[in-house]
Every structure is written in structure tokens, then in C-alpha cells.
């Protein structure tokens, strides 16, 4: 089964496989949402089954919670866990300073709350997610449904005075209806192409009435684990200022490939 994975999936898998090595017995972990995070949850489940690893997971979405339970991971809410040792999550984009765009899967609010309630955040990503400047990926902004069109208009008006290349905003849809987050909110995606000052944009967006949170994660990520399709992984630690390269070997016999039902 491993041989049948695409290069992108192999890159996501090796990043996830390496990231779970940071997990120690007894930890309380934030579990991210998305395709790369799903690999991470499966890798954790494998360690729980084979090593008897005892951990508690705080999922960032209902989808992740369901997968974690299926993998044998004990799940708690953040209010029960209170504070976390580590969060491992994916990203839609990251730059050289490990600033991120997240929210492509629609879970940015819970993801940001969980990440900031952790001692450390590790991001797992394939190499294609690295960018020189954030903005090519649409920036998600979570808004309350009441008056969402007004919030969208205010966002577009605000963008005129900011250092961005594009200013198109669109309501995320799920078929014929608006996409609804786990908190019952909508998402407006901003097609900015290039973000000149991500920190300023994040602060300004959150001042707009109706905006709940935005998908810019600034100064939150500590380590990024970058996967490549040939099995190479690169680890960058923003706090230590270090970069290291390793190689992950895996075989079709790995238990993680036994339940690929997504």
C-alpha cells in the first residue's frame, strides 16, 4: 500500500511519522485537522497500540475527534485538559519565519485556540507548502452568520488600505449552502495573492465586527517538519535557529496503511 501513495501523500506521511517522535508518554496533545494531520493521528495510534504510549488528545475538529477515537487515542475537550504540552497540526502555507496560513479545512478557530494553549506547536507539511511570502493560498476568515454580507463588505473595504495584491473575498460554500464550521459560523476566503504585512493584517481583520478569527498564525509555530516525496524530512526550529535533515524509511507492512478508509 505504501508504494501506491502519491509523492505528496508520501511527503505528508514522512512528516507526520517524524513529528510523532516528539511525543512523550503522559503528554496532553493538540491534534490538528486536515489531510496531513490525519496521517499524524494514525501514526500516534500506531504508537499507542504497539508501544503502549499513554497520551490524551484534544482534537481541533469533530473529524479529528472521530479519527482519534478510531485509532485508540483518549480524547478530551480543551476545558478538561486545560493546558497542553504540544500541538501537532498541518498548514496551508508557511514562510521562513514559520508564520502560517491555516483554515483550508475550516477548523481555524479551534486550531488557533488549541495551538495557543500549548507549550509548543509543531507544524507538519509537505515541501509544496513553503512559500517566500504568504498569500497565494486563500486566507480564511471566520465570521458569524448574522450580517455576514456586511462583515464581508467591511473586510473588502479594509483591504483597500492594506499591503495586499488582491482584494477578492468569497463566501465558502458546501454545495448549494454556505460551509458551516463546528462553531456554526461561516468562512469568507480572501484571495490576496500576496500579503505584505501579515501581522498587521491579522490584527486589523480581528477588529472588524462579525469577524471571529482569521487564519494567520503569527509567532505560534515553533518547529516545522517538512516532508519530501523521497522520504527525506527537514526539521526547522525557529527558537533554536537550527535546521536538520533526516530520512524516514517505511514499508508496506507498516500498520498505518492497514485502515486507509478516507
What are the grid coordinates assigned to 136, written together? 497565494
pLDDT band at 258 (very low <50, low <70, confident <90, very high): low
Was 104 annotated as part of a binding site?
A: yes
Residue 163 to residue 202: CA distance in whole angstroms: 12
The answer on pLDDT for 2 being more than 60 is no
Residue 141 to residue 133: CA distance in whole angstroms: 19
pLDDT band at 262 (very low <50, low <70, confident <90, very high): very low
For the four alpha carbons of 45, 49, 51 and 52, in that order, the dihedral sign comes to positive
Q: Give me the residues paired with residue 234 across strands.
A: 226, 245
Was 9 annotated as part of a binding site?
A: no
pLDDT digits (tens, 9 = 90+) for 123-153: 999 999 999 999 999 999 999 999 999 999 9
Was 102 annotated as part of a binding site?
A: yes
Kindly give, in sequence order, each residue whose CB lies less than 8 Å from that of residue 254, ignoring residues fewer than 6 positions away. 2, 46
Was 90 annotated as part of a binding site?
A: yes
Average pLDDT rounded to a whole number, residues 216-229:
98
Q: 33-67: string of b/e by CB count within 10 Å (b at 16+)? A: bbebbbbbbbbbbbbbeeeebebbbbbbbebbbeb
User: ∠ at Cα 106 (27, 225), nearest 5°?
Assistant: 45
The answer on pLDDT for 257 being more than 80 is no
Was 105 annotated as part of a binding site?
A: yes
pLDDT digits (tens, 9 = 90+) for 91-120: 999 999 999 999 999 999 999 999 999 999
The answer on pLDDT for 253 being more than 80 is no
pLDDT digits (tens, 9 = 90+) for 55-88: 999 999 999 999 999 999 999 999 999 999 999 9
The answer on pLDDT for 255 being more than 80 is no
The answer on pLDDT for 156 being more than 90 is yes
pLDDT of amino acid 4: 82
The answer on pLDDT for 251 being more than 80 is no
pTM, whole model, 2 decimals?
Answer: 0.94
- Domains assigned to the chain: 2-129+219-259 (3.40.50.1360), 139-214 (3.30.70.260)
Was 34 annotated as part of a binding site?
A: yes
Report percent pLDDT > 70 for the chain: 94
pLDDT band at 256 (very low <50, low <70, confident <90, very high): low
Mean pLDDT of the chain: 95
Active site residues: 111
pLDDT of amino acid 241: 96
> First and final CA of the chain: distance in angstroms?
14
Was 3 annotated as part of a binding site?
A: no
pLDDT of amino acid 259: 52
pLDDT band at 260 (very low <50, low <70, confident <90, very high): very low
Amino acid at each position: 500500500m505504501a508504494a501506491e501513495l502519491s509523492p505528496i501523500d508520501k511527503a505528508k506521511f514522512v512528516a507526520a511519522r517524524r513529528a510523532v517522535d516528539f511525543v512523550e508518554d503522559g503528554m496532553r496533545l493538540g491534534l490538528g485537522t486536515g489531510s496531513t494531520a490525519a496521517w499524524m493521528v494514525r501514526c500516534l495510534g500506531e504508537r499507542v497500540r504497539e508501544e503502549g504510549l499513554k497520551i490524551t488528545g484534544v482534537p481541533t475538529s469533530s473529524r479529528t475527534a472521530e479519527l482519534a477515537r478510531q485509532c485508540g487515542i483518549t480524547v478530551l475537550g480543551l476545558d478538561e485538559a486545560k493546558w497542553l504540552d504540544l500541538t501537532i497540526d498541518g498548514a496551508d502555507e508557511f514562510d521562513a519565519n514559520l508564520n502560517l496560513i491555516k483554515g483550508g479545512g475550516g477548523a481555524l478557530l479551534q486550531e488557533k485556540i488549541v495551538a495557543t494553549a500549548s507549550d509548543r506547536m509543531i507544524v507538519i507539511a509537505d515541501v509544496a507548502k513553503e512559500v517566500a511570502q504568504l498569500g497565494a493560498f486563500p486566507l480564511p476568515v471566520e465570521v458569524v452568520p448574522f450580517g455576514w454580507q456586511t462583515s464581508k463588505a467591511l473586510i473588502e473595504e479594509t483591504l483597500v488600505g492594506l499591503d495586499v495584491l488582491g482584494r477578492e473575498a468569497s463566501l465558502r460554500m458546501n454545495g448549494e449552502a454556505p460551509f458551516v464550521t463546528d462553531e456554526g459560523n461561516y468562512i469568507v476566503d480572501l484571495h490576496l495573492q500576496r500579503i505584505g504585512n501579515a501581522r498587521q493584517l491579522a490584527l486589523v481583520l480581528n477588529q472588524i465586527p462579525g469577524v471571529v478569527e482569521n487564519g494567520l498564525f503569527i509567532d505560534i509555530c515553533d518547529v516545522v517538519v517538512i516532508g519530501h516525496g523521497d522520504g527525506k524530512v527537514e526539521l526547522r526550529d525557529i527558537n533554536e535557529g537550527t535546521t536538520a535533515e533526516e530520512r524516514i524509511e517505511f514499508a508496506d507492512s507498516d500498520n498505518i496503511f492497514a485502515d486507509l478508509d478516507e
